[in-house]
Amino acid sequence: MAGGNTIVVTDANFEQQISTGLSLVDFWAAWCAPCKAIAPKLEEIASELGDKIKILKMDVDNNGQAPAKYSIRAIPTLILFKDGKVVDQVMGNVPKEQLLSMISRHM
């Protein structure tokens, strides 16, 4: 379900993908309506911010380790990582402006 600017991650490559720089991880599932609703906003953010941040998508139905490690209880949950460490988190289909504000605080 990832588009042109978002990157699909799995348990196998998750740690490597979040290890450097700023990464926003969208924990989602195909059956989740709010997950589908937030996806276009994430695509726009990925396009607008370019190489300043990686927008990563992890399907919680196909990956168990990372969602368990970060205690994902509801989706969509978006976790912002900086150099591999959690710096912020939000749950639900939040407005794009809220996501941009969260990201800009950590740039």
Structure confidence by residue, pLDDT tens digits, 40-63: 999 999 999 989 999 999 999 999
As annotated, the active-site residues are: 32, 35
Residue 3, pLDDT score:
54
Residue 91, pLDDT score:
97
Whether 87 and 70 have beta carbons less than 8 Å apart is answered as: no
Residue 97, pLDDT score:
97
Residue 5, pLDDT score:
87
Whether 22 and 107 have beta carbons less than 8 Å apart is answered as: yes
User: Does this model's pTM top 0.75?
Assistant: yes
Whether 62 and 10 have beta carbons less than 8 Å apart is answered as: yes
Domains of the chain: 1-75 (3.40.30.10)
Which parts of the chain sit beneath pLDDT 50? 1
How many CB atoms sit inside 10 A of residue 63's CB?
16
